[in-house]
């Protein structure tokens, strides 16, 4: 039993480590690919289409060689999920374009309470006071180290709300679909990736043209840009697979809370690799966020242990048998007395 728990803990840690490493890696690769100081490939939605196309290809090869098995999931559910996921991607891109960086970061932070409320509404899930407290600490910490100027406008707010709701619903749906159809994370991803790839490759260039006023057909491809596109796609496969793994193993809330560890890693690597400014405010925010993640992990472990604690039936009193014997003796005595009385009446 202990061996199974250790094996499960190791696999959970492995899935989480793969998600953090691949997510941070893809952010660093995309920063070099898309920044003005890099290769200025400003077509984020189309790049996401490339990501899902490569992921779909990997899934197809995996099914062909027998590494994974294809399970039946209704097409309408796959289409619905893909639409929600694509709205999430497009909404995030529009939110980043129309809002200030500060408001964009606040909208991302709001996903944690939104996911909590959605899980409460859809799955009647409740959270302990310790979990709620840790979530607040994480939100405050990440907010301190990432939020700068906050400017609000109607279009940006609408896009941000749409992005937050669709992303939260997408992450909850991953876990729900896996449980509903008893399907593995990679099998589910291999079914949804082709639909997302086709739709994003078709709509991506249009969305990107609206975002930055440039057509991908006019972009001058270089070997360096091509290398980082391929690197980004390879990392995206690991990132997508690990996201499905993590949400299948944990929950959407855990994925959001612990996912902010990536924010801390990105800020640190940005300071080390790209000479980004790292102020005392950033450092204090990181410390608060990490403290909140530690509290959250502790709170979830306590909650898990309390839910798994077996209900022990009240032990039988050691004097039960003695009491039974005494009752038998009393009954016998009463019967004898009753007989004596009856005999006395006959006299």
The span from the CA of 24 to the CA of 261, in Å, is: 10
Contact 59, 68 (CB under 8 A): yes
pLDDT for 240 beyond 80: yes
Q: What digits encode the pLDDT tens for the residues 128-141?
A: 777 778 778 777 87
The residue among 115, 139, 137, 138 whose CA lies nearest residue 127 is 115
Cβ neighbours for 263, distance < 8 A, ≥ 6 positions apart: 142, 145, 146, 289
The pLDDT, as a whole number, for residue 222 is 92
The span from the CA of 317 to the CA of 332, in Å, is: 24
DSSP 8-state code for residue 250: S
More confident residue, 247 or 174: 174
Average predicted confidence (pLDDT) for the chain:
76
The pLDDT, as a whole number, for residue 315 is 46
The pLDDT, as a whole number, for residue 342 is 38
The span from the CA of 120 to the CA of 103, in Å, is: 26
Out of 10-24, 33-47, 76-90, 203-217, least confident range: 10-24
Token look-up 């190791």 returns 10
The pLDDT, as a whole number, for residue 345 is 39
Q: What is the DSSP string of 27-93?
A: HHHHHHHHSTTTT----HHHHHHHHHHHHHHHHHHHHHTTSS------HHHHHHHHHHHHHHHHHHH
The residue among 249, 265, 340 whose CA lies nearest residue 9 is 249
Helix (H), strand (E) at residue 143: helix 129-146
The pLDDT, as a whole number, for residue 260 is 64
Q: Measure CA 22 to chain center.
A: 15
Phi, psi of 309 (to 5 degrees): -65, 120
Q: What digits encode the pLDDT tens for the residues 143-194?
A: 776 666 667 678 888 888 898 899 889 888 888 888 888 888 788 888 899 9
DSSP 8-state code for residue 213: S
The span from the CA of 89 to the CA of 240, in Å, is: 13
More confident residue, 67 or 95: 95
More confident residue, 172 or 2: 172
């Amino acid at each position: 039993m202990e061996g199974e728990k250790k094996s499960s803990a190791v696999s959970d840690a492995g899935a989480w480590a793969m998600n953090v490493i691949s997510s941070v890696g893809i952010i660093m690769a995309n920063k070099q690919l898309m920044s003005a100081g890099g290769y200025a490939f400003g077509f984020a939605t189309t790049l996401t289409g490339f990501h899902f196309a490569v992921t779909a290809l990997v899934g197809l090869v995996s099914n062909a060689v027998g590494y994974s098995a294809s399970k039946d999931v209704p097409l309408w559910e796959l289409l619905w999920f893909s639409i929600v996921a694509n709205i999430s991607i497009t909404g995030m891109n529009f939110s980043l374009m129309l809002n200030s960086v500060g408001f964009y970061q606040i909208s991302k932070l709001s996903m944690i309470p939104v996911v909590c409320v959605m899980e409460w509404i859809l799955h009647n899930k409740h959270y302990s006071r310790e979990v709620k407290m840790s979530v607040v600490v994480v939100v405050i910490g990440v907010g301190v180290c990432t939020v700068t100027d906050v400017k609000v406008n109607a279009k940006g707010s609408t896009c941000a709300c749409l992005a937050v709701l669709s992303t939260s619903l997408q992450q909850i749906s991953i876990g729900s679909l896996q449980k509903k159809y008893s399907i593995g994370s990679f099998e589910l991803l291999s079914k949804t990736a082709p639909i997302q790839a086709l739709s994003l490759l078709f709509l991506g260039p249009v969305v990107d043209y609206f975002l930055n006023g440039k057509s991908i057909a006019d972009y001058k491809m270089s070997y360096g840009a091509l290398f980082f596109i391929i690197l980004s796609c390879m990392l995206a496969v690991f990132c997508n697979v690990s996201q499905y793994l993590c949400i299948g193993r944990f929950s959407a809330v855990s994925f959001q809370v612990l996912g902010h560890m990536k924010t801390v890693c990105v800020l640190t690597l940005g300071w080390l690799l790209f000479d980004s400014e790292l102020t005392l405010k950033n450092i204090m925010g990181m410390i608060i966020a990490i403290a909140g993640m530690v509290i959250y992990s502790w709170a979830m472990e306590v909650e898990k242990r309390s839910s798994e604690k077996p209900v022990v039936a009240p032990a039988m009193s050691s004097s039960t048998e003695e009491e039974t014997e005494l009752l038998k003796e009393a009954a016998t005595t009463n019967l004898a007395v009753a007989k004596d009385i009856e005999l006395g009446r006959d006299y």
